[in-house]
A and B are shown apart, each in its own frame.
Chain A
């Protein structure tokens, strides 16, 4: 393998795994026969995504209606891949060949069963998220957590808004509490948190997540910081288009909170 081929293959394989390729690049990568390396990179990227998911702890169950729709669609697929029921309960032969294939096939059947919901053991590999209320209470009990009250702007959405934000740097977790922030129609606009960090350029605050306020009264929202926050100096909630933006233009700032210095 030439160095040139290797370098180009690495570039394309990384780009494919992280961002996807256009048709021309995909053809080029296919010609390089980089399948093995690409798969290893795919697993590495998946492992990073899984670790970050567990670290963030912001997982939510699939909406009930969606789960029902998926379960309705699964039957033909599961029927294709599962061995007959009798094979599933047949005890292993005592003197079975000790080949990798047997364990592999059994594991494959096990994952189908587990994912299909037929094996309802509790999760042991993906963290079960705490309720937002429990997270907030836990953070408030930590001496090194910071808490700051919201200061409302003149934006109409903040007319009756109050509340606070709690942030814990060590665990990179936090919760916003709002009382009286105007409910939004997610089809029209959503709220988004930006976290201004002393360790980062002010022009590029950390995205703290997009969220909705669905009811009047008190609302708790977990902070989902996309990047590590070193030392927050300002939390700002803005009104953005549905889905949020990569970097806010700050046209409608609703509330801000400055941690005590």
Chain B
């Protein structure tokens, strides 16, 4: 916790609407990390990336639950039961320098959208408001940027990038 506390705390505060919810999220995340530690594969990702992945997964899940709760309250419907199965495998090694190189190859708008979504935890609508891009453009660029980075980190699967570009054209 000493080692990854600042990373998890930083992400939780960015993704959470209040300090109290960020604190609850941090506790959930560390319990998730401890439970999932047996699934960590050092040949496929660094410890820090593994922890960041668990953190983001939990924070997105909490946000989805908040939205669902709000929608349910608005619709006066019974709250849906929801469980998020943990995906147990890690299969990717993302070194910091490799990530930096991959990010450097993105267009500025791609980099902006990807950072706002993956690090700052902004929704598609919030990114549209922050950048002035139409919502549909945000969605397209976010997908393209993530697939580009995934491809670059995975050794340059150019066909994936080409497909992402083709998707943008359609």
* A interface residues with partner B (beta carbon < 8 Å): 6-7, 10-11, 14-15, 17-23, 35-36, 38-54, 56, 58-63, 66-67, 69-71, 73-74, 77-78, 80-81, 100, 103-105, 107-109, 111-112, 114-117, 120-121, 123, 125-126, 129, 186, 201, 203-204, 207, 226-228, 242-243, 246-247
Contacts and interface: CB of A to CB of B under 8 A. Distances in A.
12 contacts: A14-B143, A19-B142, A40-B154, A41-B147, A43-B44, A44-B92, A44-B154, A45-B118, A49-B118, A52-B119, A63-B23, A108-B40
Nearest to B94: A47
Contacts of B147: 10, 14, 41
Nearest to A226: B120
Contacts of A46: 45, 49-50, 52-53, 55-56, 94, 118
B129 A247 contact: yes
Is chain B's interface secondary structure helix, strand, loop, or mixed overall? helix
B78 to A, nearest CB: 14
Contacts, number: 259
Contacts of A54: 96
A38 B87 contact: yes
B76 interface: no
Q: Count chain B CB atoms within 10 A of each CB in A43, A54, A111, A247 and give the residue with the most.
A: A43
Given A50-B49, A226-B120, A59 B7 contact: yes
Given A7-B167, A10-B164, A243-B18, A39 B23 contact: no
A74 B34 contact: yes
A39 B35 contact: no
Interface of B: 1-11, 17-19, 23, 26-27, 30-31, 33-35, 37-53, 55-57, 60-61, 63-64, 68, 80, 82, 87, 89-92, 94, 96, 99-100, 103, 108, 111-112, 114-120, 122-124, 126, 129-132, 139, 142-143, 146-147, 149-150, 153-154, 163-164, 167
Enumerate the 3 nearest inter-chain pairs by beta-carbon distance, A residue then B residue, closest first.
A47-B94, A59-B6, A43-B92
